[in-house]
Amino acid sequence: MQLRLWFLMQAAAAAVTTSALMANYHAIPLSNTDSKHFDAIIVLGTPTQDDGTPSPEQRERVEEGVREFKAGVAQELIMTGGAAHNSFVEGESMKKLAGSEGVPAENVIVEGKAQDTIQNIYYSDQVLETHHWHTVEVVSSPSHLPRAALILAHWKGLNWTTHAAKWPPEYSQEKIEVTFTREATYCWTLTHDGFKRSDFLPGT
């Protein structure tokens, strides 16, 4: 009887913790503007497969960025991501895929140095400054958007919104739920403890 009670108490504690994580996660603002049209669309990178072809999440992010481009949300695409996890530059792979979807090469800018999400925004902001652009839509996987939003909030002169790509049909519901939980845990730490000091993140 005592063992059963202990298990029930542990389950209740886990449920409360998960509820708090998710409440915090879903409370993160995903935009600082009501605009529907932007100077550029930033598509956040994620690794290619080992042979250099787009991974499922990379494919879905790019295809969503292309849909937004074709819908007239912005006239420029920034594909951001370096060779962070293998020898293939994410931005180059993403540009190639966008080209195969009919986006003219002159409308796609590759940012090929970023090694993580903070650097994605940092180096993309340098591209924006070069072109005197101040408004962006940021496309990424659904679970990634709150963390991206926490990072974007450090750029005070930028008007931004986030936009979710679709989940790859190859992903199981269990994989998606695990990914959301991992990101919610990460965001809990960031909202309560803040970001570590970084040369790539203003205000840290």
Interval 107-153: pLDDT, tens: 999 999 999 999 999 999 999 999 999 999 999 999 999 999 999 99
Spell out the domains of the chain, with CATH numbers in brackets.
33-193 (3.40.50.620)
Average of pLDDT values for 17-25?
Answer: 84
Q: Is residue 60's pLDDT more than 80? A: yes
Assign 166 a pLDDT band (cuts: 50, 70, 90): very high
Assign 84 a pLDDT band (cuts: 50, 70, 90): confident
3 state DSSP class of 141: coil
Q: Is residue 11's pLDDT more than 70? A: no
Largest pairwise CA distance in the chain: 70
Tracing tokens 């790509």 back to the chain, one arrives at 165
User: What's the predicted TM-score (pTM) here?
Assistant: 0.91
Whether 103 contacts 66, CB under 8 Å: yes
pLDDT computed for residue 85 by the predictor: 87
pLDDT computed for residue 64 by the predictor: 98
Whether 144 contacts 28, CB under 8 Å: no
Query: CA-CA distances (angstroms) from residue 153 to 39, 70, 156?
Result: 18, 27, 7
Whether 62 contacts 98, CB under 8 Å: yes
How far apart CA 197 and CA 75 sit, in angstroms, is 34
pLDDT computed for residue 7 by the predictor: 43
How far apart CA 126 and CA 128 sit, in angstroms, is 5
How far apart CA 142 and CA 23 sit, in angstroms, is 16
**Tens digit of pLDDT for each residue in 170-192?**
999 999 999 999 999 999 999 99
Assign 9 a pLDDT band (cuts: 50, 70, 90): very low
